[in-house]
Structure 1
Amino acid sequence: MQSSTELKKTIGMPQAVALYVSAVLGSGVLIVPGLAAELAGPASLLAWGGMVLLILPLALSMGLLSARYPNAGGVSHFVTLAFGSRAGTMIGWFFLMSVPIGAPVASLTGAGYMTAALGLGEGARIAIAAMMLTVGLLINIVGMQLAGKVQIGVVIAIVAVLIMTFILAVPHLDSNHFKPLVPHGWVSVGQAGAILFWCFIGWEAVSHLSEEFTDPERLRSKV
């Protein structure tokens, strides 16, 4: 029987995958690629490949730690186990402080897409962002099982947009667009990689939900 302080294990494998993917494949993926291309030109593709390789150790570390030490403390719990409670508490406060900053920014970004598409003003953007925050809060109050199902829909929608964008862009592919490959020098590739880094973080945030996974060991067995 679960104790009153133990979280309910309601997040299955599909929901867990959706939560991890949506944490990484967020709204930034619709903006950051253009910024990287502006910085490095065609060579920004090299930055994409480099970041994929560099981020694998982080993704695997977060996944394996979450499977081995499932705890709502997430990264702060891992740090506590490794370096003691003082270091873990400090990391926990950093994560807590990021919420009131990151959540409104993400909501305003999403609302900005909608208002730009519909031709609405700044007032509508703020109202839509507030509504997004409210809906997100209510979904989390209901429970992570519902949140996981909602994230599955969100991930499907984002992937569909990306696939559609790729399909529509294929007819316009031209080898001349890749010349010169490095128009702004090789340093620009590193600069583009630093920008693209923000498309590859988020693995650490979902580790806080590991205690609610129905079978955290399944992830480790898959790896």
Structure 2
Amino acid sequence: MRRGKLTLWEATAVGLGNIIGAGIFVMAGSAINLAGPGALLAFIITALLAMSVGLNSAEMASAFPSVEGGVYSFARLTLGDSVGFLVGLLRVVSYIIGGAAVALGFSGYLTSLDAPRYLIYPTSITLIVALSILYKAGLKIASEFEKYLTSINIAGLTIFIVAGLIYSGPLKTSHFKPLLPHGLFGLIESSSLAFFAYSGFNTIATLTPSVKEGERNVPKAIMLSLAITTVIYILVVFTMLYIAPWQLYGTRPDPLSFALEEARAPMAIRLTVSSVALLSTFTVTLSMIIAGVRTMEQMAYDNVIPRSVARDNRSLLIVTIAMLISLALGNVETLGLVANFGVVFSYITTPIAVIVIRRRGITGSFKTPMYPILQILAIILSLLVTSALGYKSLEIGAMTLIVGILAYELHEEFNLIEKRHHNSVAKD
């Protein structure tokens, strides 16, 4: 029996499934650490950026409905192979470093169940290696878990919110003062980190051909899924601040577990929330490995990197080793900010790509409203978020871009030499 197209609410559910995940379980404490109570505003600012990028991506997906590879493919088709290569490279780096951050989150919640804290890094290493070994089986594991993960995550976050408000006693207004202890820059930096918790929102834009009245319903689904997510995230952050002063959270990889402990919630509730966080971080670590490998294989297929990378699990080996090395970058806050450089950089190219296709006269079933104001807004917000990612993130991002440009030029030179050789042989 042929499956019909997705309804608006089904598309919204897909969006929620791609957004609500390990990010909020791992990064909420660090977002509070950077902005204090202003983290509540940070999640709203990030949602506005996500909405603007999502709508631009919806137009790109509508204009190129049969194209796979998402942001990478859009950049390659509109801005050329060299820009596409850089976007793809930075996406792979983001998946790798983001996977390391989520693996630390898994270890943090595991050790919160009365395991020694010194096991956080050894456990993260073990998790990454184990999931890489099970990569092929992991494709099925991830898809099976993802069917139910959205409901489980929302249930876990709801339990956290209700339990936190019940067991932590009366509201202490001192927990919410001052609003911006680190000033405006702290707010922007927190917004930069909060973007990690919205990772995956862009996937919904690629569903346009599969959604009933996609031209009208996909933009609505993007707005709805991001609005629902933002409300949930703000309630989580509010509950954390309700329970304890912002100064206590620091860069812990298990902030929700720590908050429930501070609230003296029953062990059963703490175990439930920690178990949900463990399932979420386990599945997302696996998904990051899969996404990194698949992006590299797509790039090899497009011949912007050597085709040999896609053979004999070489891409999997590269992703695994790089993810293990990434653990040395530091805590979840640092890893999250570094991972976001590639994500935000790639999203800067999306509104530019929309401007390019408009000028070329390429249109699909959906056009973003308020052109070109929305595109300019997306670019400005992306640059603002990028500027606050921190020294280490910008340094690693800049190095990746430089190395990427050199690697691409060498690859193109090698292809040119090989082409000349083939032409010479053909003439002989």
Task: Work out which of the residue numbers 165, 175, 178 in structure 1 matches 2:173.
Answer: 175
Q: Does 1:114 align with 2:110?
A: yes
- Output the CA distance in 2 between the equivalents of 1:215 and 1:156: 22
Q: Does 1:130 align with 2:129?
A: yes
One-letter amino acid matched to 1:170: L
User: Aligned in 2, Cα 1:61/1:136: closer, same or farther, shift over 3 Å?
Assistant: farther
One-letter amino acid matched to 1:130: V
Task: State whether residues 39 and 191 of structure 1, in contact with CA within 8 Å, keep that contact through their aligned partners in structure 2.
Answer: yes
Task: Work out which of the residue numbers 194, 197, 213 in structure 1 matches 2:195.
Answer: 197
Q: CA deviation at 1:15?
A: 8.1
- Output the CA distance in 1 between the equivalents of 2:138 and 2:39: 37
Q: CA deviation at 1:167?
A: 0.8
SS at structure 2 position matched to 1:182: coil
Alignment partner, residue 162 of structure 1: 157
Q: CA deviation at 1:194?
A: 2.2
Task: State whether residues 41 and 184 of structure 1, in contact with CA within 8 Å, keep that contact through their aligned partners in structure 2.
Answer: yes
Alignment partner, residue 3 of structure 1: none
User: Aligned in 2, Cα 1:99/1:138: closer, same or farther, shift over 3 Å?
Assistant: farther
Alignment partner, residue 246 of structure 2: none
Alignment partner, residue 5 of structure 1: none
Q: Does 1:26 align with 2:25?
A: no
Q: 1 or 2 for the larger relative contact order (CA 8 Å, sep ≥6)?
A: 1
- Output the CA distance in 1 between the equivalents of 2:100 and 2:178: 40
User: Aligned in 2, Cα 1:119/1:44: closer, same or farther, shift over 3 Å?
Assistant: same
- Output the CA distance in 2 between the equivalents of 1:61 and 1:156: 28
User: Aligned in 2, Cα 1:82/1:104: closer, same or farther, shift over 3 Å?
Assistant: same
Task: State whether residues 19 and 200 of structure 2, in contact with CA within 8 Å, keep that contact through their aligned partners in structure 1.
Answer: yes
User: Aligned in 2, Cα 1:139/1:65: closer, same or farther, shift over 3 Å?
Assistant: farther
Q: How does 1:41-60 map to 2 (within 5 A)?
A: 41-60=36-55
One-letter amino acid matched to 2:181: P
One-letter amino acid matched to 1:127: T
Q: CA deviation at 1:101?
A: 4.4
- What RMSD in Å do the two structures reach over aligned CA positions? 3.6
Number of aligned residues: 208
Task: State whether residues 26 and 102 of structure 2, in contact with CA within 8 Å, keep that contact through their aligned partners in structure 1.
Answer: no
Task: State whether residues 103 and 133 of structure 1, in contact with CA within 8 Å, keep that contact through their aligned partners in structure 2.
Answer: no
Alignment partner, residue 6 of structure 1: none
Structure 2 unmatched ranges of 5 or more = 220-428
User: Aligned in 2, Cα 1:170/1:96: closer, same or farther, shift over 3 Å?
Assistant: closer
Percentage of matched positions with identical amino acids: 23
TM-score, normalised to structure 1's length?
0.71
User: Aligned in 2, Cα 1:89/1:216: closer, same or farther, shift over 3 Å?
Assistant: farther
User: Aligned in 2, Cα 1:109/1:178: closer, same or farther, shift over 3 Å?
Assistant: closer
- Output the CA distance in 1 between the equivalents of 2:162 and 2:191: 25
User: Aligned in 2, Cα 1:117/1:19: closer, same or farther, shift over 3 Å?
Assistant: farther
TM-score, normalised to structure 2's length?
0.41
Task: State whether residues 6 and 211 of structure 2, in contact with CA within 8 Å, keep that contact through their aligned partners in structure 1.
Answer: no
Structure 1 unmatched ranges of 5 or more = 1-8
Q: CA deviation at 1:17?
A: 5.2
Q: CA deviation at 1:58?
A: 1.0
